[in-house]
């Protein structure tokens, strides 16, 4: 082992001791105060990736990514802003009749336009093909390429 590697090992051991001392505080911030990992990283003046590594090494399990109730961006006034997902029956793909991996496609690419006439059931393969076809058609025509305007609930209320 050379001097540089020995120095790195020593610094790593010191860092592990330091973070081990902070484990109760991190657990309190994360589990009791419900701070997101990014806020904890900011609190300790480290990067998000850094605090994620630390928490993994300390054995602090991450919360599920699904926020519940009012904290979920897909809910407004206690109601789901993606009600269209419960209204449409996903039995088979409209294009290829597949019955697996089905999703709901917005025909006009506006994820805020949840009118039933703008929605269709597609399998993941057909959905991706449709999206790529529209993108390349616009690109070849010299038009602005379509892109998703994000999931419902980010900025505006759903139209359904």
* pLDDT digit string, tens, across residues 138-147: 889 998 877 6
Structure tokens at 158: 């759903």
User: What local confidence, expressed as pLDDT, does residue 108 receive?
Assistant: 83
pTM of the full predicted structure? 0.45
Both tokens of 15, joined, read: 């860092």
Contact 93, 85 (CB under 8 A): no
* pLDDT classification of 77: cutoffs 50, 70, 90: low
Rounded-to-integer distance, Cα 55 and Cα 48, Å: 11
How far CA 39 is from CA of 24, 35, 109, 113, 117, in Å, comes to 16, 6, 33, 33, 42
Q: Give yes or no for a contact between 109 and 146, defined as CB atoms under 8 angstroms apart.
A: yes
With a CB cutoff of 8 Å and minimum separation 6, the contacts of 95 are 122, 123, 126, 130
Q: For the chain, what percentages of helix, strand and coil (3-state, to nearest 5) are there?
A: 45, 10, 45
Q: Which residue has the higher pLDDT, 138 or 67?
A: 138
Q: How deeply is 66 buried, as exposed, middle or buried, from its count of CB atoms within 10 A (0-12, 13-18, 19+)?
A: exposed
Asked whether the predicted pLDDT for residue 153 surpasses 70, the reply is no
In terms of Cβ atoms closer than 10 Å to its own Cβ (0-12, 13-18, 19+), residue 90 is middle
> Contacts from 96-103 at CB under 8 Å and sequence distance 24+?
96/123, 96/125, 96/126, 98/123, 98/125, 98/126, 101/125, 103/127
Q: Which of 20-34, 46-60, 99-113 has the lowest mean pLDDT?
A: 99-113
pLDDT at 90: 86
CA 149-155-160 angle, 5° bins = 80
Of 160 and 62, the structure prediction assigns the larger pLDDT to 62
CB contact at 8 A, 119 and 105: yes
């Amino acid at each position: 082992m050379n001097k540089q590697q020995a120095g790195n090992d020593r610094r790593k051991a010191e860092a592990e001791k330091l973070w081990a001392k902070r484990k109760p505080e991190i657990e309190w911030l994360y589990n009791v105060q419900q701070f997101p990992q990014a806020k904890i990283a900011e609190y300790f003046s480290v990067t998000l990736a850094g605090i994620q590594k630390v928490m993994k090494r300390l054995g602090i399990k991450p919360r599920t990514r699904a926020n519940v109730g009012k904290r979920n961006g897909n809910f407004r006034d206690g109601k789901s802003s993606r009600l269209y997902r419960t209204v449409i029956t996903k039995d088979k793909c409209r294009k290829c009749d597949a019955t697996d991996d089905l999703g709901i496609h917005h025909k006009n690419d506006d994820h805020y336009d949840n009118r039933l006439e703008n929605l269709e059931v597609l399998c993941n393969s057909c959905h991706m093909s449709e999206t790529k076809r529209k993108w390349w058609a616009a690109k070849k025509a010299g038009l602005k390429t379509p892109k998703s305007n994000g999931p419902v609930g980010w900025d505006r209320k759903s139209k359904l």
